[in-house]
Amino acid sequence: MRNYSEGMEHAPTDVRTRVVRAARTEFAAKGLAGARIDSIARGASASKERLYAYFSDKASLFQAVLDLNASEFHEAVTLDPADLPGFVGAVFDHIHANPENLRVMTWAQLEGVDYRLPAAVPSPQQKMEAIRDGQRRGLIDPGWAADELLHLLFSLAHAWAQAPLMARGAGDDPRAHRRAAVEAARRLVVPPPAAGASA
């Protein structure tokens, strides 16, 4: 397991990292159009000149934030075709532990940002191929198209984070929401009984 304390002593001098993290906070609150370079520089304890030494403009900085989010997600969450409910639980955990990431992604969708995953991050096609492998092995209901099932699994994990305000109550229990999402995924992917099998 990775030791997250490694390298932390160098973090204060890593200007680029500070800029990207400060930008994530700014973009999460205001989106690409509303974010201000001055605010990002202040949040990173860096001058605008230092910021522009790494990023030519606000759009390239937004892309860097999306890259960071994608890398963090890939490091935290893997898709095992033998445990798709576990994948939904892990996505749920990551979303709730990193709310800024979800807000940045939502802004990217709203503002029509054209984004491609970094080469080091597995593509959705790789996840879909893992699902197809699970279907071939009899672990996942083969009636689903892999791309549709992947979208449904993400939707289950995102359900409460993106629920309408009226659906949220003061007594909301994230643990119960997580259990519900995982159980819904389990029911969604379980293969149907074989023809002629006893109930």
* 34-92: pLDDT as tens digits: 999 999 999 999 999 999 999 999 999 999 999 999 999 999 999 999 999 999 999 99
pLDDT at 1: 34
Following DSSP, what letter does each residue of 96-141 receive, concatenated? HH-HHHHHHHHHHHHTT------TTSPPHHHHHHHHHHHHHTTSS-
Domain regions of the chain by residue span: 14-163+172-189
Q: Is the pLDDT of residue 166 over 60?
A: no
Q: Is 133 exposed, middle or buried (0-12, 13-18, 19+ CB in 10 A)?
A: middle
The H-or-E segment that residue 199 falls in is none
Q: Which CATH superfamily is domain 14-163+172-189 in?
A: Tetracycline Repressor, domain 2 (1.10.357.10)
- State the pLDDT confidence band at 11, using cuts at 50, 70 and 90: very low
pLDDT at 9: 41
pLDDT at 76: 94
Q: What integer is the mean pLDDT of 188-199?
A: 74
- State the pLDDT confidence band at 168, using cuts at 50, 70 and 90: low
Q: Can you list the alpha helix ranges (DSSP code H) found in 4-83?
A: 15-34, 37-43, 48-54, 58-76
Q: Is the pLDDT of residue 106 over 90?
A: yes
pLDDT at 198: 53
Tell me the pLDDT of the chain averaged across its residues. 89
CB of 72 closer than 8 Å to CB of 104 = no
Single-letter residue type at 57: D
Q: Is the pLDDT of residue 8 over 50?
A: no
Closest CA to 34 of 104, 124, 87: 104
pLDDT at 120: 86
pLDDT at 43: 96
pLDDT at 5: 35
- State the pLDDT confidence band at 193, using cuts at 50, 70 and 90: confident
CB of 78 closer than 8 Å to CB of 87 = yes
Q: Is the pLDDT of residue 173 over 60?
A: yes
pLDDT (tens digit per residue) in 126-137: 999 999 999 999
